[in-house]
Structure 1
Amino acid sequence: MSEETFIYLYNKLRPVMERQDTSFRKCVPLKKRVAIALWKLATGSEYRTVGHLFGVSITTVCRCVQEFTAAAETLLVPEQIRYPDQEKFEEMAAYIENRWGLPQCVGAIDGSHIPILAPQEYHCDYFNRKGWHSIVLQGVVDGKGLFWNVFAGLPGSLHDARVLRLSTLWELASRGNHFPAYTTGNIGGVNVAYYILGDSAYPLQNWLLKPFTDTGRLTVEQQIYNKKICRARVVVENAFGRLKGRWRCLMKRNDSDVTIVKSMILTCCALHNLCESHGEDYDDDWDAPAAAEPVVPVAQGVEEEGRDVREGLMRYFNC
């Protein structure tokens, strides 16, 4: 994240996160608290390691992360993950049609498992088919890989189709209140409204298209359709890869409460949109493996470079 984007984020969250000194003690500077939270989300390091790096207690690190994610949910998430208006829908549809040749398509949907420690209550519900505990993140992205609808927090044992039916997206779209139904395009003599793309796990709807099931007897037209769908759907898979690659706390077992993990997920999705829209550099080496198993949070390599990093941080934050 560049300094320009950091300052933008700092000013955005300042009205909620700013604290005043008291006669008993001085508060941790706001820039430093934002940096602590970003470091935790970006590295997934243990609270102890982050506290040692920034020269604060474990409690302070925990409080900074919670305050940052709460402020981001209030101010940043509504700004960065917004329901598109009519003009935005037209823009998204035009972009996808120009790139993949799919008219009236406004995005793609998929789900991703975020690893957590087993909760004390109903822990079996969070045990997913991959063999570990998680909560599900459902995301809808546009052709540029920016999230415009997210839904997180349900147990990892639920199927993607079940998560969709429990989300607000399903409720609104089923009622015809989500996509502008009055805007239609003519495809092969058929009037088609806006729609999104999903994989075979999702139910077929007039606003959600999926590939034909490969029975070995698909026609040439059906095979071409499946190829076009799969090419376009890659955008949501890439978005999840870049999301987890930049905010690696989503790749490690999170030891926080489920409600806090949900807040961290939504915050990371908003930060993903912020960094992508601001043109922040992304190293392909950060990409999350497609089928990576979650790992226990460790700060490998942080201790070795801790001295240099800490000295630079202390000079920057004057602490």
Structure 2
Amino acid sequence: MADVDRVFIERVTALYLLWRAEQQRRGQRRRTWVHQTLRRRSQFGEFHHLLQELRLDDGRFQRYFRLSRAQYDDLLSHVGASITLQDTNYRRSITAAERLSICLRLVNVFLATGDSFRTIASSYRVGVSTVCQIVPQVVTAIWDCLVEEYMAVPTTGDWRSIAEGFQEQWNFPLCCGAVDGKHVGMKAPPNSGSQFHNYKGTFSIVLLAVVDAKYRFRVIDVGGYGRASDGGILANSAFGQALRTGTLHLPPDQPLPGADERGPHPHVLVADEAFPLRRNLMGPFPGRTLPPERRVFNYRLSRARLLVENTFGILSSQWRMYRRLIEVHPEVVENCVKATCVLQNFMRCSERRESPAVRGAGQAGEEPVPGLGRVAANFSSREAVRVRDVFMAHFSAEGAVAWQPTE
């Protein structure tokens, strides 16, 4: 047995000597546990050097992170415990504040400018693999820690409150939100075929959202294939299924303001022509040459529906990753989209000093059935047509406003 062990040790030693000789021949130095430049992170890293100076200037700090100093500290108090790692006997872990800073900087700038992870790794003096791990971990923690407080599942009272906001600010009664989809451009994933290829000729995943009268997300569904239509993604999302089956907990039917003689009327959501017309989902009348009553209805509906378009615009302006193709894995893109949506609610609540109970839906990340074609928006039930006709008559009679078109 001793001879066998001796022979084994001799062979291992010989292999090691051959490996060392090959390394020396190639001129490669032996790797170190932590590179010398990374050891100086606390002295020359961007977080320890530049950011501490930016905290003295609120304007520059907000332009750097897209969050104010108070918002940043508040966000850190929410997610800090979830992203904190323990120190080891070999090295100290990166602090929660630094991990959050790296993630926000990447989502804000580097995912949208084409710079690789190496750029921010060099700036913050951390490893590239470390940055690749920080981004999905932190954006997932942001969603998990904020969703219950700033985008929770709506109740009947919440839908009623949203409807009151649309009536007061946008003159559309019994409206519980505006619905639309946004294509988030990204680099084509390998071996994905045409699943993510959209009608614009690019590759994307779809963000389907419902927003309220104050530009806040209430329901989001992220991850739909770019090839699918907005109506198809709605039909295969948890929100769309709840809307179709009547389990969304919308308020009970009630008369339109000043129109008790028209009888009870359902609460609705407003959308464009890409979505099907349903009892609780209103779309515009198709065509160009329309009678005055239909043009008035399309105008009033478009005025309320533009809220979701404006919300997408605010999102794109706040987080620059939406302006160019994102070159990361689709799952990471989904997590980044979800995190930015809940962060927008978080920021708007902190700016307005409102109650954080925004209460929107969190049914995100569901993947629709692949291969969906265009869903016809003109296929609708008689009940849906009747509901739209009642709205049309109301907007041209007791619900008319002075500034709407009359011809």
TM-score (normalizing by structure 2)? 0.66
| Correspondence 1:183-202 to 2 at 5 A | 183-186=253-256, 188=259, 189-202=262-275
Does the residue aligned with 2:209 lie in a helix, a strand or coil?
A: strand
Within 5 Å, give how 1:102-181 maps onto structure 2: 102-181=172-251
CA distance in structure 2 between the aligned counterparts of 1:190 and 1:55, rounded to whole angstroms: 67
Distance of 2:267 and 2:116 partners within structure 1: 44
Distance in 2 between residues matched to 1:244 and 1:24, nearest whole Å = 42
Q: Please state how far the C-alpha of 1:260 moved relative to its aligned partner.
A: 1.4
What are the Cα deviations for residues 225-265 of structure 1, in whole angstroms up to 9, with x where unaligned?
A: 11111111111001001111111112222222111111111
SS of corresponding position for 1:19: coil
Structure 1 stretch displaced more, 250-259 or 193-202: 250-259
Aligned to 2:71: 5
RMSD: 1.6
1:257 equivalent in structure 2: 329
Asked if residue 220 in structure 1 is aligned to residue 286 in structure 2, the reply is no
**Higher mean C-alpha deviation, range 205-214 or range 67-76:** 67-76
Name which of 84, 88, 91 aligns with 1:25.
Answer: 91
Give the Cα separation in 1 of the matches to 2:84 and 2:350.
Answer: 24
Q: Normalization by structure 1: what TM-score?
A: 0.83
SS at match of 2:92: coil
Q: Is the 8 A contact 1:92 1:107 kept in 2?
A: yes
Consecutive unaligned residues of structure 2, counting only runs of 5 or more, are 1-66, 353-407
3-state SS in 2 of match to 1:123: coil
Deviations 1:142-201 (A, max 9, x none): 011100100011110111111111111111111111042525333641322221110011
Note the C-alpha offset of 1:90.
2.1
Q: Sequence identity of aligned pairs in percent? A: 27
Tell me whether 1:207 sits opposite 2:280 in the alignment. yes
Matched residues in 1 for 2:148 and 2:323: separation? 24
- Alignment partner of 1:10: what SS? helix
Aligned counterpart for 2:100 among listed residues 31, 34, 49: 34
- Matched-pair contact (CA < 8 Å) for 1:165–1:171: yes
Answer whether contact 2:78 2:145 (CA < 8 A) is retained.
Answer: yes
**Amino acid in structure 2 at the alignment position of 1:139:** A
**Displacement of 1:215 after TM fit?**
4.1
Q: How many residues align?
A: 279
Cα deviation 1:262-288 (Å, max 9, x = unaligned) = 1111111111111122128xxxxxxxx
Query: Within 5 Å, which residues of 2 pair with 1:287-306?
Result: none
Q: Which amino acid aligns with 1:186?
A: L
d(CA) in 2 for partners of 1:98, 1:182: 19
Q: Distance in 1 between matches of 2:307 and 2:188?
A: 31
> In 1, Cα distance between the equivalents of 2:120 and 2:147?
25
> How many angstroms does 1:125 deviate by?
1.4
Give the aligned partner of residue 136 of structure 2. Answer: 66
More displaced stretch, 50-59 vs 35-44: 50-59
Task: Label 1:219 to 1:9 Cα distance change in 2 as closer, same or farther (>3 A).
Answer: same
Contact 2:184 2:204 in 1 (8 A): yes
Query: Which has more strand, going by share of residues?
Result: 1
- The alignment partner of 1:125 has SS state of coil
1:204-237 Cα shifts (integer Å, max 9, x gaps)? 0111101111241x22111111111111111100
Q: Give the whole-Å Cα distance in 1 for the aligned partners of 2:230 and 2:250.
A: 25
